[in-house]
Amino acid sequence: MGRLILRRLLATVPVLVLVTFGVFLLIHLVPGDPVEAMLGESQDAVAKETLRHELGFDQPLYVQYVTWIGHVVQGDLGRSVRTHQTVLDNVSHRIRPSLELAVFAMLISLCVAIPLGIVTATHRNSVIDSLGTSFVLFGICMPNFVIALLLIFVFGVTLHWLPISSYTDPFDDPVAGLRSLMLPAITLGLALAAVIARTLRSSLLETLADDYVRTARAKGLAEWTVVRGHALKNALIPVVTVLGLQFGTLIGGAVITEYIFALPGVGRLVVDAVFARDYPLVQGVVLLICVGFIASNLVVDILYGWIDPRIRYSA
């Protein structure tokens, strides 16, 4: 297992280098002068040259990259032009709502997707399978903002059961915090549950057709024992892949959902920074999101070895 972890860690090094280079070019690929975009054309030339010097834009491109990487290695991702706070300070104030939303949405999706995937796979071509497939198609095809608006209209406007545009920290008030996260978590969780259920159903159907499963049935084991004890663990490998990728997406990509429900998360922070032309903040936050994706993929690779010993021993 240690050998597998070491190989996966070494494999992430070139990926991190490419990610940092791509994020660094983010500002320089923007049409026009980034300094004029941040300050506007009304500012005088002295202010523009001062900001250009502070950001290092008056240096050659390779010098800027080496300088920026040196700061990143030391934990300095830059400073916001708008708030004059460091990127890490800005993110630290916004990461908790995004993490809470991601974890809550993930729990909702798992509670829905795993039973649905198992039931539809074990009742193939039945009415239950047809209903489950319809739900999967609805969750995959329906945009998140449409689901959000439907939930707001039903549970917020019509029934007045849940708040629609407020955030309360669950650590300060657990009940109010869960209520404020319920609608956005359901919005993200339903779409994710559809993807997980479809993946689990396909993987479980393939696993149930293997020889060792037929052998277990021939021994007289109950169907639920065969599914739970023999087929399910192997069928979860593709599901782990989906979970690892989607968790990073939930943290950094729930921009529309956070805006609709007025959640002060990382996704909303990126959009606000883009609108304010705060490119250092955009650059730093995008880098952190990319590193989060890489870390989630690394965790998935390690979980592969735990779920399937064949992967562990072949590493």
86, pLDDT greater than 80: yes
Question: Has residue 89 been placed in a domain?
Answer: no
Mean pLDDT of 273-284: 81
305 and 168 together in one domain:
yes
Look at 38 and 92; give whichever has higher pLDDT: 92
pLDDT above 70: percentage of residues in the chain:
90
Predicted confidence band of residue 73 (pLDDT cuts 50, 70, 90): confident
Predicted confidence band of residue 108 (pLDDT cuts 50, 70, 90): very high
Strands (E), the chain: none
Question: What SS3 class is residue 34?
Answer: helix
pTM of the model: 0.80
Mean pLDDT of 188-213: 88
Place of tokens 């489950």: 132
Range of the domain at 68: 2-73
What is the per-residue pLDDT across 9-68, written as a single tens digit (0 to 9) for each?
A: 787 888 888 888 888 887 777 666 667 766 666 667 777 788 777 777 778 888 888 888
Mean pLDDT of 165-172: 81
163 and 308 together in one domain:
yes
58 and 100 together in one domain:
no
CATH (domain of 215): 1.10.3720.10
Mean pLDDT of 70-77: 86
32 and 170 together in one domain:
no
54 and 100 together in one domain:
no
Mean pLDDT of 94-122: 89
Question: Has residue 81 been placed in a domain?
Answer: no
Task: Give the model's pLDDT for residue 309.
Answer: 64
Question: Has residue 82 been placed in a domain?
Answer: no
Place of tokens 């562990």: 312
Question: What SS3 class is residue 63?
Answer: helix
Task: Give the model's pLDDT for residue 140.
Answer: 85
What is the per-residue pLDDT across 110-155, written as a single tens digit (0 to 9) for each?
A: 999 999 999 998 888 889 889 988 988 888 888 888 888 899 999 8
- What are the beta bridge partners of residue 86? 79
109 and 210 together in one domain:
yes
Mean pLDDT of 65-91: 85
Residues 188 and 267: their CA atoms lie apart, in Å, by 14
Enter the tokens of residue 123: 């009742």
- Of residues 106, 101, 129, 295, the one with CA closest to residue 196: 106
Question: Has residue 86 been placed in a domain?
Answer: no
312, pLDDT greater than 60: no
Question: Has residue 83 been placed in a domain?
Answer: no
52 and 142 together in one domain:
no
Q: How many domains, in total, are found in the chain?
A: 2
Place of tokens 């991601």: 102
Task: Give the model's pLDDT for residue 259.
Answer: 80
68 and 102 together in one domain:
no
206 and 301 together in one domain:
yes
Give the domain-ending residue among 73, 108, 130. Answer: 73
DSSP codes joined into one string, 196-263 = HHHHHHHHHHHHHTSHHHHHHHHTT--HHHHIIIIIHHHHHHHHHHHHHHHHHHHHHH-HHHHHHTT-
230, pLDDT greater than 70: yes
Mean pLDDT of 205-231: 82
4, pLDDT greater than 70: no
Question: Has residue 84 been placed in a domain?
Answer: no
Tell me the pLDDT of the chain averaged across its residues.
82
